[in-house]
């Protein structure tokens, strides 16, 4: 049985990916320092899958802890989620973001090189494309100067991986996520935003739950049909499954190349107002919202051309926006 290390495996996307890995028969070992999640997620994963993954509470920034981990664990592949991800915070704490997101990546790649390990998957982001010159975004679209420090850690992260892959012959895939939303159908795992959510869907569900008074829609003067910005919202379970597809590609020798990157989205763009209307409809409630100014740094529209990912990974999304927004609400209702 293949053993896969998942860093950040108790986070939002990590936990959903661990569930899918276990469902597919992989052995999973998680590293997570609980900086943005709780240990109870481990129990939830165990409840869903009937199997408790191995777990180490350690910090990927600790080179010596990482060495000890690899001394004691032989793994066949690594999926690296562990990172800071708040765009706004990244502008206030750039050094923390560069240190956390890049040192952990470098240390992991050094271990991979030193031990002749292979098969590395990196959480990248569609934010590397910036404002699109044309839509939908293919993998050939130019990578732009990042709008945020967070985005820059993903851009630089990909460059580090590319160079390491080429020099040391490591097989790697970066998955450029569009906007992951929703939660597992059991509502046992989901997104756990700390404090006031910056992302749309957690803000929507918290407003519906009465935790926030009103949702602000950031701008209705974009040159889009209803004036609000467009994104590609992908159900987190579909996104988790893209990791399994990428892992299988890496584990299959015939398909190997040193560094590849894929767009992971639905291919469909949805405006903020469409999200709100769909959320209201599927969950049969009304959302209190108002239009405010644009949010600095936001792009007008971003959605994926998924042709390459669909073909090369033999993967496609299966879940609708309706399902994603229903699951997000079901998850919200579980929170105290």
Residues making contact with ligand WQD (CB under 6 A): 85, 87, 125, 127, 179, 198-200, 203, 215-218, 229, 231, 272, 295, 298
Q: Which is nearer to ligand WQD, 247 or 273 (CB)?
A: 273
Q: Give the number of other Cβ atoms within 10 Å of residue 3's Cβ.
A: 14
Please return the burial class of 239, using the count of CB atoms within 10 Å of its CB with bins 0-12, 13-18 and 19+. buried
Q: Cα–Cα distances in Å, from 151 out to 23, 25, 121, 162?
A: 32, 33, 17, 17
Q: How far is the CB of 111 from ligand WQD (least distance, A)?
A: 25
For residues 121 and 229, which CB has a smaller minimum distance to ligand WQD in the complex? 229
> Which of 197, 201, 188 lies closest to 325, judged by CA?
201
Nearer to ligand WQD, 35 or 169 (CB): 35
Closest CA to 289 of 189, 218, 236: 218
Q: How far is the CB of 59 from ligand WQD (least distance, A)?
A: 20
How far is it, in rounded angstroms, from Cα 7 to Cα 34? Answer: 11
- For the CB of residue 7, give the shortest distance to ligand WQD in the complex, in Å: 15
> Closest distance between ligand WQD and the C-beta of residue 258, in Å?
25
Q: 129 an active-site residue?
A: no
User: Scanning the structure block, which residue is given the tokens 């292979």?
Assistant: 118
Residue 64 Cα to chain centre, angstroms: 27
Q: Six-digit token pair at 250?
A: 């890496």
How far apart CA 150 and CA 204 sit, in angstroms, is 23
CB of 321: closest distance to ligand WQD in angstroms? 13
Nearer to ligand WQD, 199 or 308 (CB): 199
* Residue of 107, 150, 177, 303 marked active site: 150
User: Which of 127/183 has CB closer to ligand WQD?
Assistant: 127
Smallest Cα–Cα separation from 229: which of 274, 271, 198? Answer: 271
Q: Which is nearer to ligand WQD, 101 or 283 (CB)?
A: 101
Least CB distance to ligand WQD at residue 304 (A): 12
Length of the chain: 336
- In this structure, what is the dihedral angle of CA atoms 252, 254, 256, 262, given to the nearest 10 degrees? -80
Q: Cα 294 vs. chain centroid, distance in angstroms?
A: 24
CB of 225 to ligand WQD, least distance (A): 14
Give 4's strand partners. Answer: 28, 77
- Which residues fall within 8 angstroms of residue 218, CB to CB, at 6 or more apart? 229, 272, 292, 293, 294, 295, 298
Distance CA 112, CA 120 (A): 9
- The region that residue 195 occupies, defined by phi over 0 for left and psi between -120 and 50 for alpha, beta otherwise, is left
Instruction: Specify the residue, 53 or 269, whose C-beta has the smaller distance to ligand WQD.
Output: 269
Q: Which of 47, 148, 135 is nearest to 97 (CA)?
A: 148
Token readout for 140 is 């050939």
Active site residues: 150
């Amino acid at each position: 049985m293949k053993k896969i290390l998942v860093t950040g495996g108790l986070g939002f996307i990590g936990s959903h990916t661990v569930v899918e890995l276990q469902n597919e028969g992989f052995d999973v070992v998680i590293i997570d320092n609980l900086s943005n999640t709780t240990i109870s997620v481990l129990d939830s994963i165990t409840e869903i899958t009937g199997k408790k993954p191995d777990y180490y509470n350690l910090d990927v920034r600790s080179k010596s802890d990482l060495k000890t981990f690899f001394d004691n664990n032989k793994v066949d592949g690594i999926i690296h989620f562990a990172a800071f991800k708040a765009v706004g915070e990244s502008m206030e704490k750039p050094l923390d973001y560069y240190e956390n997101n890049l040192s952990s990546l470098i240390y992991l790649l050094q271990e991979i090189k030193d031990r002749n390990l292979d098969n590395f998957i990196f959480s990248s982001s569609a934010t590397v494309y910036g404002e699109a010159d044309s839509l939908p975004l293919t993998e050939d679209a130019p990578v732009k100067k990042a709008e945020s420090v967070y985005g820059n850690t993903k851009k630089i992260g990909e460059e580090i991986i590319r160079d390491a892959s080429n020099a040391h012959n490591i097989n790697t895939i970066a998955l450029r996520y569009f906007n992951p939303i929703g939660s597992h159908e059991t509502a046992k795992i989901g997104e756990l935003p700390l404090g006031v959510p910056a992302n749309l869907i957690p803000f929507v569900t918290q407003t519906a739950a009465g935790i926030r008074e009103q949702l602000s829609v950031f701008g209705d003067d974009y040159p889009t049909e209803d004036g609000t910005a467009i994104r590609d919202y992908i159900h987190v379970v579909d996104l988790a499954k893209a990791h399994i597809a990428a892992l299988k590609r890496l584990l299959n020798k015939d398909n190997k190349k040193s560094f590849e990157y894929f767009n992971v989205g639905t291919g469909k763009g949805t405006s903020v107002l469409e999200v709100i209307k769909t959320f209201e409809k599927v969950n049969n409630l009304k959302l209190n919202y108002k239009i405010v100014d644009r949010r600095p740094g936001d792009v007008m529209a971003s959605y994926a051309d998924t042709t390459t990912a669909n073909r090369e990974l033999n993967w496609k999304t299966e879940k609708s926006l309706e399902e994603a927004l229903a699951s997000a609400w079901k998850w919200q209702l579980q929170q105290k």
